[in-house]
Amino acid sequence: MASAAKKAARSTNEGAVGQYIHAGGKIGVIVEVNCESDFVARTEDFQELLKDIAMHIAATDPRYIRREDVTEEDLAREKEIYRAQAAATGKPAPVVEKIVEGKMTKFYEEVCLLDQPFIKEQSQSIKDLIALKVGKLGENITIRRFARFKVGDPTWTVAQTKAAEESPSAE
């Protein structure tokens, strides 16, 4: 984990695009995971991570990659809902704010990919899974973007980090 923290600022301009089609072909995911070199991107460990992340996205349907990517509108709406629910219990304002804080943590676990418990190992988050691979492979690894499609669902989930949105190569 300490190794991952040291490498977090390093640029990730290489990587791979992976995909996962769920059994029966009803759900499909395309995900871009970046690393520092194409050598690492071709390793079995990196490819396994890519597949695991795509499978996880298919199973959990996150809306965002990181907490920082959640829109201000979604944050405000969720906080308002949780604040109203907590206030209805008649608890004092400081307690209401603690309740809202706890519910927001749960909200992030539901909608942010990096905060979600990994489907294959519930005691480990996706962020932890990536940190383990960073330590093993010796390079920074980031998830840049993903798209999830489900047959018959008129909506689909497309998410990317805010950093990717600001990058000229994201066009």
| Residue 40: pLDDT over 90 | yes
| Residue 102: pLDDT over 50 | yes
* Token duo for residue 61: 């349907």
Q: 54-70: per-residue pLDDT in tens? A: 999 999 999 999 999 99
pLDDT, mean of residues 86-106:
89
What is the pTM (predicted TM-score) of this model?
0.83
Measured between alpha carbons, how far is 171 from 98 in angstroms, rounded to an integer?
Answer: 41
Give percent above pLDDT 90 in the chain: 69
List the domain boundaries for the chain: 1-68+117-157, 71-111
What SS3 state is found at 124? strand
10 Ramachandran zone, left/alpha/beta (phi>0; psi -120 to 50): beta
Q: Which CATH number fits domain 71-111: 1.10.286, 3.40.1350, 1.10.260, 1.10.287?
A: 1.10.286
Which is nearest to 33 in space by CA: 21, 20, 116, 108? 20
| Residue 168: pLDDT over 90 | no
pLDDT, mean of residues 92-96:
86
What per-residue confidence (pLDDT) applies to 171?
35
| Residue 4: pLDDT over 60 | no
E strand or H helix at 14, and its extent? strand 14-21
| Residue 35: pLDDT over 70 | yes
| Residue 109: pLDDT over 50 | yes
Buried b (16+ CB within 10 A) or exposed e, 71-110: eeeeeeebbeebbeebeeeeeeeeebeebbeebbeebbee
Dihedral sign from CA coordinates of 100, 109, 161, 154: negative
Mean pLDDT value across the chain: 87
- Contact predicate 38/14, CB 8 Å: yes
What per-residue confidence (pLDDT) applies to 71?
92
Architecture category of domain 1-68+117-157 in CATH: 2-Layer Sandwich (3.30)
